[in-house]
Structure 1
């Protein structure tokens, strides 16, 4: 499913116009980005938690030349699914 399909499904389920559903999806994405950029977590009980993880500096290899390169430390967004989401996927795939 892509963003357009998600907007269509939300509009249908919530009884919203396409434009209002798109505004809601865009607002959710924007606030999630802003929250993570500040270093905060976004927890949706039953769905999951969006957070920021520190990734340590490490050495890597250039796949074309084999030359060793330094990969700097960075912050990376991550998502941990909640129990209800895990169970829904488990039931669907069983």
Structure 2
């Protein structure tokens, strides 16, 4: 699903113009991005949580040559689905409406 798909769904559900729906989607994503940039978790009820996680430096290995190398410390974005989202996915129903 793309931004345009989300905007189209908003147009169909709520009758907003395509431009306003696209702006709404963009603003929501910008707010989420800004919160994550500040190190905050983004929690969406009945959907899940986006979290920035810090990974420590560790020794890794090149799978082709088997040579060890240092994998640097970094931050990664993770998503944990809510229990209700997990249940819907397992039941094959997708998100609630």
Shorter-chain TM range is 0.7 to 0.9
> What is the aligned partner in structure 2 of residue 32 from structure 1?
32
Aligned length: 93
Structure 1 residues 1-94: aligned runs within 5 Å: 1-62=1-62, 65-92=65-92
- Post-superposition Cα deviations, 1:15-62, rounded to whole Å, max 9, x if no partner, equal 211111111111111111111111111111211111111111122234
The TM-score normalised by the length of structure 1 is: 0.82
Q: List, as ranges, runs of 4+ consecutive aligned residues in structure 1 with deviation greater than 2 Å.
A: 59-69
The TM-score normalised by the length of structure 2 is: 0.80
- RMSD of aligned C-alpha atoms? 1.8
Q: Distance in 1 between matches of 2:9 and 2:80?
A: 24
- Post-superposition Cα deviations, 1:60-88, rounded to whole Å, max 9, x if no partner, equal 23456544321211111111111221122
